[in-house]
Structure 1
């Protein structure tokens, strides 16, 4: 079978090769009727469109953006917050025609996605500054937007008011009358377990910001603090950390948790220890993920707007890509999105002494 080309279609329709090319890449240059005729002829002849690599070379753009993940894709797709954010980004980018490519932070010596995958720019999602894959994106001089993390090179960022949301959660427990509060947070690199000084709890941009918000309210009051760090934001780690807090000789009457996943784990640990939530111990999460509304008791938590975060990240990145193509200097933009406390069934005043 002879190879079908743009010229083959042009000859069949009786137009120029450029007109056929415009039907695929610059539809605004043609009448709707002529474009429909060309596309119908192309389909009849089995032509799927111009070669993407050649089109990218001609345009100077790949038509794709990357999202760099700290962990593996399997881990990311088990996270309601991550998947909600990805969906919001994809929805916002859909009208632009830009495709979204997920980039794991790992790779073989031969294939490193952050180094080798063609893209016009990338979102860096919750990654540490020293992530090797991030180094490749920086060396490629791609437009970058940091989400739930920040960068010392002054690239644009989209973050939450982590501090303000955490402070609101802590104030809620103080107002309820709690005077011994546990902090359950994460530190990927350790140390893990009870932290001698609660002011050192939380490692990484988001964990540290949330811990600072808690402490801003709680320090200087008569509230006692006990902090526990665990390796990761998982149900198993959250469960172990909560058991550590709840089996102390003088256990806290409330726990502020890094996430809803860890808060639900704390509820489960309390139940296994024969403790009622919220009658004997209150639990507060962070994120207001679907999990927070699905479990019983439903979780008091700090809400973040994933749709707004995805929209802001996509908009900031497309604007950065546009400036980059035009040769304009980078104008870093720091977007900080609000959070709000949602009070539900997992918090109550402490049990009477």
Structure 2
């Protein structure tokens, strides 16, 4: 079968090749009737449209943006917070016509998506420092927006008031009279297990900020602290980490968790050790994910507005791409959005046991 081109359609309809091209890329240049005739003829001949690579070259835009994920793509899609964030980003970008491409942190010897995939810009979502994919995005000089990461000079960012949220959780336990508090956090990088020096826990920006808030608030009140760090933000890891804190005679009476997912694992660990939540041990999560409301007892947690975070990140990215395209971008124009948190008290916290 002969290859169908713009010229093939032009000859069939009796118009110029440019007119056919406008039907696909500049519809405002044609009458509705003529465009409908051209598109119908194209469909009849089996022509699906201009080559995407050629169109991108001509327009100077790919029509797509990337999202650089955290360590594991599979883990990200099992995380309620991450999936809600992705959904909000996609919804905000929908009116722009931009497609979303997911970029893993690591590639193969033959292909590194962050280096090879055509995109106009990217969201860097909670990625660790030193990731090869992040290095490639920076080297490509693409417009970037950093989410749940320490703001980078010259690039926009969207973060939570992590320290404010950490203080809210710690102050809640203090108000309930707890004097020995366990800290349960996660980081792909070590150390893992019991952390003798709590100041060394927390591998990434978010974990470091929350731990700093916990230790400063609890330390100022003279409270004893024990810390455990697990590798992944899963309920199973939370379960194992919480057992390290609780399966001892000198156990904490309250646990501050990096996430609701870890907190749910901690609640199950306590129950399996015949400890009552909150009568024997209080548990606080972070995020206000769906599991916080479904858990029994329902989790006290620090709420973040994930939808607002996703929408803000997408809006910052489209603005950065526009500035980059028209040459008006400047390091001083980078916007750093900091979203508030809110303590939500439910049934997993109570007064410290006598």
SS at match of 2:287: coil
| Cα distance, 1:222 vs structure 2 | 3.5
After superposition, give the CA deviation of every residue in 1:262-306 in whole Å (9 maximum; x if it has no partner): 000000100110011112111111111111112211111111111
| Alignment pair present for 1:333 and 2:335 | yes
Once residues 212 and 241 of structure 2 are traced to their aligned partners in structure 1, the CA distance between those partners, rounded to angstroms, is 19
| Cα distance, 1:195 vs structure 2 | 2.3
Change (3 A) 1:44 1:129: same
| Cα distance, 1:240 vs structure 2 | 1.4
After superposition, give the CA deviation of every residue in 1:49-97 in whole Å (9 maximum; x if it has no partner): 1110110111111111111123232222112111111111111111111
| Alignment pair present for 1:90 and 2:87 | no
**Which residues of 2 match residues 190-209 of structure 1 at below 5 A?**
190-209=190-209
Once residues 26 and 303 of structure 1 are traced to their aligned partners in structure 2, the CA distance between those partners, rounded to angstroms, is 45
Once residues 194 and 256 of structure 1 are traced to their aligned partners in structure 2, the CA distance between those partners, rounded to angstroms, is 15
Q: Which residue pairs with 2:107 in the alignment?
A: 107
Which range moved further: 156-165 or 329-338? Answer: 329-338
Once residues 181 and 313 of structure 1 are traced to their aligned partners in structure 2, the CA distance between those partners, rounded to angstroms, is 34
**Which residues of 2 match residues 1-353 of structure 1 at below 5 A?**
1-330=1-330, 331-351=333-353, 353=354
Answer whether contact 2:62 2:118 (CA < 8 A) is retained.
yes
Once residues 245 and 217 of structure 2 are traced to their aligned partners in structure 1, the CA distance between those partners, rounded to angstroms, is 20
After superposition, give the CA deviation of every residue in 1:134-159 in whole Å (9 maximum; x if it has no partner): 11111111111111112544321111
After superposition, give the CA deviation of every residue in 1:215-242 in whole Å (9 maximum; x if it has no partner): 2322211422212222221222211110
Change (3 A) 1:296 1:28: farther
Once residues 45 and 198 of structure 1 are traced to their aligned partners in structure 2, the CA distance between those partners, rounded to angstroms, is 68
Once residues 131 and 265 of structure 1 are traced to their aligned partners in structure 2, the CA distance between those partners, rounded to angstroms, is 29
5+ residue gaps, structure 2, are none
Which range moved further: 159-168 or 3-12? Answer: 3-12
Which range moved further: 33-42 or 235-244? Answer: 33-42
CA RMSD between the two structures: 1.6
> TM-score if structure 1 supplies the norm length?
0.95
SS at match of 2:220: coil
Once residues 173 and 84 of structure 2 are traced to their aligned partners in structure 1, the CA distance between those partners, rounded to angstroms, is 28
Answer whether contact 1:120 1:143 (CA < 8 A) is retained.
yes
SS at match of 1:219: helix
SS at match of 1:341: strand
Once residues 46 and 199 of structure 1 are traced to their aligned partners in structure 2, the CA distance between those partners, rounded to angstroms, is 64
- Aligned length, in residue pairs: 352
Answer whether contact 2:284 2:299 (CA < 8 A) is retained.
yes
5+ residue gaps, structure 1, are none
| Cα distance, 1:197 vs structure 2 | 2.8
SS at match of 1:286: strand
Which range moved further: 116-125 or 41-50? Answer: 41-50
Answer whether contact 1:72 1:106 (CA < 8 A) is retained.
no
Answer whether contact 2:191 2:229 (CA < 8 A) is retained.
yes
Which range moved further: 274-283 or 254-263? Answer: 274-283
Once residues 4 and 200 of structure 2 are traced to their aligned partners in structure 1, the CA distance between those partners, rounded to angstroms, is 65
